[in-house]
Amino acid sequence: MAEAERSFLPVRIAVLTVSDTRDLAQDRSGQILADRITEAGHILADRAIVRDEVELIREQVRAWVAAPDVDAVITTGGTGLTGRDVTPEALKPLFDKEIDGFSVAFHMISFQKIGTSTVQSRATAGVANGTYVFCLPGSPGACKDAWDGILKDQLDYRHMPCNFVEIMPRLDEHLRRK
């Protein structure tokens, strides 16, 4: 089916900012993601901020991946190397499958902008309970790069030759077989 023949399908996306210091008024990265989500025609399903604490991060994402009205979660923050950066540790245990190519693609894009400094990011992604989870760095630039360079296309059903949306109905088929 040609790209022009497919209709746009909005994805319901929740945004989580992981930060010890930000509130909604200061959350530039979360706002960038929220704006890009709605500008693309998707639905901002929810938005929250939690501190850099494994259980708080995990609790919020667990609630969203259990919710029938959330198709994807994008987190921003907590993917660095400092002691307070715990987003991957919080969320990888929830993943049924990791999306290894997301990290590779993110680093390819990031390298073009910031060079070898990209190695300090542990951006990752996976599928948890049939819901996509993308873990982005906390910088506005990294959020722009991830959305503009990967997520905008992969969350658009019209993107060819393939995209995340077309396989969404099958993400939890292993859970339904049990």
- How far apart CA 159 and CA 35 sit, in angstroms, is 20
Q: What is the pLDDT of residue 168?
A: 94
- Which residues lie below 8 Å from residue 43, measured CB to CB, with a gap of 6+? 10, 11, 12, 13, 37
Q: Percent of the chain at pLDDT above 70?
A: 96
**16 band by pLDDT with thresholds 50, 70 and 90:** very high
Q: Which residue has the higher pLDDT, 75 or 3?
A: 75
Kindly report the pTM of this predicted structure: 0.95
Query: Does position 68 have pLDDT exceeding 80, yes or no?
Result: yes
- Average pLDDT, stretch 69-85? 96
- Which residues lie below 8 Å from residue 138, measured CB to CB, with a gap of 6+? 17, 18, 19, 29, 76, 77, 78, 79, 80
**Domains identified in the chain and CATH numbers:** 9-171 (3.40.980.10)
Least confident of 3-7, 101-105, 113-117, 131-135: 3-7
- 12-18 and 72-76 beta bridge pairing: parallel
